[in-house]
Chains A and B, each alone.
Chain A
Amino acid sequence: MGKSTATTKDDAQALFRSLHSAYSATPTNLKIIDLYVVFAVFTALIQVGYMAIVGSFPFNSFLSGVLSCVGTAVLAVCLRIQVNKENKEFKDLPPERAFADFVLCNLVLHLVIMNFLG
């Protein structure tokens, strides 16, 4: 038992080390996007926590708040997928085009959010 926990611990440590080293090789622009995604998800979690404590009364406001964060995160992930040089599928797609799509999609998303906010 003790031995197996020890190996699990070792494994986990090795895993985190290799994860860390692999991730630090990521280009800076992708790291920025990742930060943005994490921030958006974190904001969403705060709102969910707030809802759990205070209640979801203006439900459309809660919904638009959370979905705006989730949507932002999802779109940023899509952008990240598209501009990631390692993704062979999107070689033909220039990053400018990807970013334009991203902006357009965000525009639509937030127009809808504004409408729905109430």
Chain B
Amino acid sequence: MAVPVDAIIKQSPPSSSLRFAFGNVLAFFILLLIGVLAFSIRLFSVIKYESVIHEFDPYFNYRVTQFLTKNGIYDFWNWFDDRTWYPLGRVIGGTVYPGLTLTAGTIWKVLQSLNIPLSVETVCVFTAPVFSAFAAWATYLLTKEVKGTGAGLTAAVLLAMVPSYISRSVAGSYDNEAVAIFALIFTFYLYIKTLNTGSLFYATLNSISYFYMVCSWGGYTFIINLIPMHALLCIVTGRYSSRLYIAYAPLVVLGTLLAALVPVVGFNAVMTSEHFASFLVFIVIHVVALAYYIKGILSPKMFKVAATLVISVGLVVGVGVVAVLVAVVASSPTKGWSGRSLSLLDPTYASKYIPIIASVSEHQPPTWPSYFMDINVLAFLVPAGIIACFSPLSDASSFVILYLVMSVYFSGVMVRLMLVLAPAACIMSGIALSEAFDVCTRSIKYYITSLSESLQTDAGDIVPGNNITSPQNDVIKPDKKEELLKERPSRKNKKKEKESIEKPSVKSKMTKRPLVLPVEASIFALFLIVLLGAFYVVHSVWAAAEAYSAPSIVLTSHSHDGLHVFDDFREAYAWLSHNTEVDDKVASWWDYGYQTTAMANRTVIVDNNTWNNTHIATVGTAMSSPEKDAWQIFNSLDVKYVLVVFGGLVGYPSDDINKFLWMVRIGGGVFPHIKEPDYLRDGQYRIDSQATPTMLNSLMYKLSYFRFVETDGGKGYDRVRRTEIGKKYFKLTHFEEVFTTHHWMVRIYKLKPQKNRIRGKTKKLKSKTSSTTPRSGSLKKNPWH
């Protein structure tokens, strides 16, 4: 980057340096607008619904933030949470990535000290949009380091709107990724910056930014593997430079130390295989640095002698070191890799061994349409961007290429890692678009100048001023610069481009001279590019408005008689918090654990932090067992209330019946008496009259469909499964219904007290009466008192 700027200053007449300054101001305002765009496109969820925290994990983060703002940082580090994973509890301070919480907590504190009285919830809701604006700016900086300002601006706009990122950062999606993507891009930017300048100052910043990334997201291992890979790539391809050493070596030392400071990472920063690559390359780079240094001070002949000497000795030592290393790694049970990382390398690992990982939908491999949905036209522009990065190949552009390749692989393994691919795709497409614009506008400009010249004189060989035709290759760069300035206004009315890009960039690679296309072709290409950009914008806005804005805690549906709002979840949680004792334990499938603790403030058995598989399997087993066994399991866990989510009445598909097979699988994984085939009729999962008796007698079935038949006058038609239910009339013996929300989406049952069970046992007949008596008794709020 520095080179073209210098060139421009040296070569350009004063008028063009004025233009350059003007371009900087323009770029600044464009960036400002990009920030506004990135922020405002994520506000659809607030406008269409309300300012509310979304989904599951954000509720946990919100609760942690509340705790932080109320009790301060020291209590936060030492927080042992006894309201979850009952009776085990969870050490929150040591098991949570604190970056997001600390960020929002700090923002809240700063605002408070400025006398801006925002609630913690508001700050949490808007953290993600604010940080996506930062991420767009970081993308600008990164791409600028790689390919110049024009590409940087294009990439920033693309990133501000990329649907994949929007899906994780709409207002209310208060999750780790919201700040982590910014940290990821910014760390990469600082690495490239250090690589380009060789400044230790940026290396320090780089480590600190890496620290922030480690604080924010487990995805930091992507960085600590990608950067060593790039360093190794540079070394292998003979691109080693002392700048590379300065960019890499301090980062490893400082970064490792800083990572070890984060409680959740701790000694893992030096103990697990995820980090070993960086140490290995750290050693390699020192050897290489030494070799280059010795090569520099010795005569070539002596260096040859030294090389043969060192290699023969080094081979022996090296084999020894590798053997020790392999032995150390192999001695750890999982070869030092954690399950989640292993499932990245071997996509089938999770489904084979860890049902709890496989059961999460965002851990599934993506389908092809999801690529189109999430990165849209960028998918087609990326190849063009790769080509553009190869001409010429620099350290920075090779890094971007490597980043893209790795993230494409990871996104293919796990759909949620599409998020890591999105910035890479934006950078590549930004480069591609910018190059295409460059070529097309240059052609048009060339046409215009040659036209005006032929009017004045006979067309001369040399075009004066800052023009394009000067035969020297060096001049291309300043020209590009000029072009980029030119092209900004057009980008303002929404950029983006066209496949036609590929042709130009391939050609420009072959011809060393600036490529000039026929004017008609370039105007047409420009038109297509803008059109393509328009499609992208339309798609992104649609995705932001329709596909990714639903908070999932409030649902809406459009029908012929207008808009319906289903606010059952909050209704149920509010009921729990108002009608149960503070210390009552609520059992539900783990999906609803975070929400129950955050919104109802009740103790839960399992939650979305799936750290204890056995505990989850216990709940899964209870849900899959017949009523009596389930009652025993729940009673042993001191559970008072059981919460199930049921979508059969309104057609809400992600309810507990649809998740039930996972409960069976996870439960059966630990308690072998639960067998999946018992719940399947001929391998089919069904709840109609063909369903197996085990299925019809399971607690989940009973709790979901209890009294369901009363809703539609005896049919019992389930709108999700599109079938009549198998067992319509039944009574509950060990549970009683205490609350069902308006649309029946959440049903809360209470465990009957033990004495009823004993009475029912002594006389079989009485069990029938006892099932009705407690119902009238349920008016009494707390039979335990």
* Residue ranges of A at the interface with B (Cβ–Cβ < 8 Å): 8, 11-12, 14-15, 18-19, 22-23, 25-26, 59-60, 63-64, 67, 70-71, 74-75, 77-79, 81-82, 86-87, 89-90, 93, 98, 101-102, 104-105, 108-109, 112-113, 115-116
Contact = CB atoms under 8 A, between A and B. Distances in A.
A108 B296 contact: no
B234 to A, nearest CB: 14
Nearest to A87: B242
Nearest to B253: A71
A81 B257 contact: no
B409 to A, nearest CB: 31
Interface string B189-215: 000000000111101100110000000
Contacts, number: 104
Given A108-B207, A109-B253, A79 B261 contact: no
Contact of A101 (B204, B242, B302): B204
Contacts of A8: 309
Given A86-B296, A109-B257, A15 B305 contact: yes
Interface stretch (B243-251, B399-407, B548-556, B598-606): B243-251
Nearest to A112: B257
Contact of A22 (B242, B258, B261, B297): B297
B260 A60 contact: yes
Contacts of B200: 75, 78-79, 82, 98, 101-102, 104-105
A49 B242 CA distance: 30
B306 interface: yes
Interface string B275-312: 00000000000000100001011110010011001000
Interface of B: 198-201, 203-204, 207-208, 241-243, 245-246, 249-250, 253-254, 256-258, 260-261, 267, 270, 289, 294, 296-299, 302, 305-306, 309
Contact of B257 (A64, A82, A90, A93): A64
Given A15-B298, A15-B306, A67-B253, 6 more contacts: A15-B305, A19-B297, A63-B257, A81-B245, A101-B204, A112-B257
A89 B195 CA distance: 12
A26 B246 CA distance: 21
Given A67-B253, A101-B200, A18 B242 contact: no
Nearest to A64: B257
A18 B253 contact: no
The dominant DSSP class at the A interface is helix
A71 B250 contact: yes
Given A63-B270, A78-B200, A105 B250 contact: yes
A89 B253 contact: no
Contact of B261 (A90, A93, A115): A115
Contact of B249 (A67, A77, A82, A115): A77
6 contacts: A11-B309, A14-B305, A102-B200, A105-B254, A112-B257, A116-B261
Given A70-B253, A78-B203, A89-B243, A59 B309 contact: no
A85 to B, nearest CB: 12
Contacts of A64: 257
Nearest to B203: A105
Contact of B260 (A63, A74, A78, A93): A63
A114 B297 CA distance: 38
Contacts of A78: 200, 203, 245-246, 249-250
Nearest to B302: A18
Given A71-B253, A82-B198, A101-B200, A108 B208 contact: yes
Nearest to B243: A89
Contacts of B289: 77
A112 B309 contact: no
Nearest to A84: B242
Contacts of B208: 108
Contacts of A105: 200-201, 203-204, 250, 254
Contact of A89 (B207, B241, B270): B241
Contacts of A14: 302, 305
B201 A101 contact: yes
